[in-house]
Chain A
Amino acid sequence: MNDLILVEKFKGGDRTAFKELVLKYQKEIYFLACRMVFNKEDAADVVQETFVQVFRKIHQFRSASTFKTWLYRVAINRCKNFLRVLKKNRELAPIENYAVTDPKDSQLDLLLKNERVDLIGETIEKLPKKQKAVLILRTYHELSYKEIAEIVGGSVNSAKVNFYHAIENIKRLVGK
């Protein structure tokens, strides 16, 4: 069933419509959260929080955007909130501390050959939050820049620039 119809039903008090939305979207929100918070248990918590928020805030959803982009926006904000709390407890070195040098190709090759998937995750983890969100939404959720701009805020062009900076930063971090 169409999302907007489900949302309208849910706004009218139909809980089965909410359940349908959970079943439809919980997987992709989980995968999103896994990459955003880089920990599976925490990701599961974030998914729960996200849908609880959706349940509580459904009246704030206006069909000016799609339900999907609205849901992603809620999820990204939950992730960021989680990371902020986490950061307070465990001070991560900010990205500025990493040397800005051009990568040596050999290291990139090594990474490519070994398919160090965990290392990619660790590298994404070090990106500033907005770049990280844009990169993940674009690469793994294949959303358009227009949708991404709606989710993270800002213009379509700033979403593109953030994607570009994310890739640049990964290049630097990998090249270290």
Chain B
Amino acid sequence: MNCKTIKKRFLTDYVEGNLELDQKTLVEDHLANCLQCREHFGEIQRIASLLKSYTVADPGEVFWDGLTSKIYSRVNKKKPAQKKPWEILQEWMTWKRLVYTATPVLLILLLLFPAHHFYQSHFSELTSQENVLTVEEIGNEFLLIDEYLIQMPANQLEKFVQKMAWLILSPEVLAWPEYFDGLGLGTDEEIFQMRKQNLDLLAKRLHEV
């Protein structure tokens, strides 16, 4: 096993003592023979224990009581938890599928239009980041995309939708559950609502076209 594998694959679990015996032996054999990795592990362990010393003081009972009552007073202004119309909509599979499908489709199509430099640069910037985007971040990016589509000139938009139709119905896109879950449109009310509005706007514009 080389140093890179040791560091990438086993470091975290080794430091935390989560490795199976045979893997542990492999790591320890390597460490015994590699000064560089040994030093590296030492540092990682020290940082891990250093982190533990970062404590947050308990603000005390008065604070907690205050926090609890602030939460209660904020939710008391709201209606009791109840299914909202859009939540029912969301559970309606066809509609849900349409919304969830439209998004990857839009992204794919945007990449097919070489003229839209904005998108290309924007998208590659997004995907090149080492960190996977969070649900909310993805949602926000889609809002940007919607905005762009809404402003797209009529003739381009028309072409766009012609190409979109077969993709929306494509079984590959529909059977992409990981993507649907990852988009998390259903887990963020505001983004879902805004997207719904945007899609309505888009539909309206298409009607005009």
Binding site for B on A (CB under 8 A): 10-11, 13, 15, 18-19, 22-23, 26-27, 30-31, 34-35, 40, 44, 47-48, 51-52, 55-60, 73, 77, 80-81, 103, 108, 111-112, 115, 117, 120-121, 124, 128-131, 135, 139-140, 152-154, 158, 160-165, 167, 170-171, 174
Residues of B within 8 A of A139 (CB): 48, 51-52
Residues of A within 8 A of B82 (CB): 13, 59
Given A13-B80, A40-B59, residue A128 in contact with residue B131 (CB < 8 A): yes
Residues of B within 8 A of A167 (CB): 44, 47-48
Interface residues of B in 57-112 (CB under 8 A from A): 58-59, 64, 67-68, 70-72, 74-75, 78, 80-83, 87
Q: Is the CB of A160 within 8 A of B12?
A: yes
Q: Is the CB of A59 within 8 A of B136?
A: no
B29 proximal to A (CB < 8 A): no
Given A120-B53, A171-B43, residue A48 in contact with residue B78 (CB < 8 A): no
Q: Is the CB of A108 within 8 A of B132?
A: no
For B11, B12, B78, B132, the residue with the greatest tally of chain A CB atoms inside 10 Å of its CB is: B12
Given A48-B70, A57-B187, A174-B47, residue A153 in contact with residue B78 (CB < 8 A): no
Nearest-neighbor residue (CB-CB) of A49 within chain B: B74
Bound form: Cα–Cα A27–B56 in Å: 11
Among B75, B87, B134, contact of A77 (Cβ-Cβ < 8 Å): B134
Binding site for A on B (CB under 8 A): 7-8, 11-13, 43-44, 46-48, 50-56, 58-59, 64, 67-68, 70-72, 74-75, 78, 80-83, 87, 130-132, 134-137, 182, 184, 186-189
Residues of B within 8 A of A164 (CB): 7-8, 11-12
**Cβ-closest 10 pairs across A and B:** A120-B54, A55-B75, A130-B131, A51-B71, A34-B56, A160-B12, A58-B81, A139-B51, A154-B132, A117-B54
Q: Is the CB of A152 within 8 A of B134?
A: yes
Bound form: Cα–Cα A53–B189 in Å: 9
Q: Is the CB of A135 within 8 A of B54?
A: no
Given A48-B71, A51-B75, A167-B47, residue A129 in contact with residue B11 (CB < 8 A): no
Bound form: Cα–Cα A163–B47 in Å: 12
Given A26-B67, A44-B67, residue A111 in contact with residue B131 (CB < 8 A): no
Given A56-B81, A131-B131, residue A170 in contact with residue B47 (CB < 8 A): yes
Bound form: Cα–Cα A163–B15 in Å: 12
Q: Is the CB of A27 within 8 A of B13?
A: no
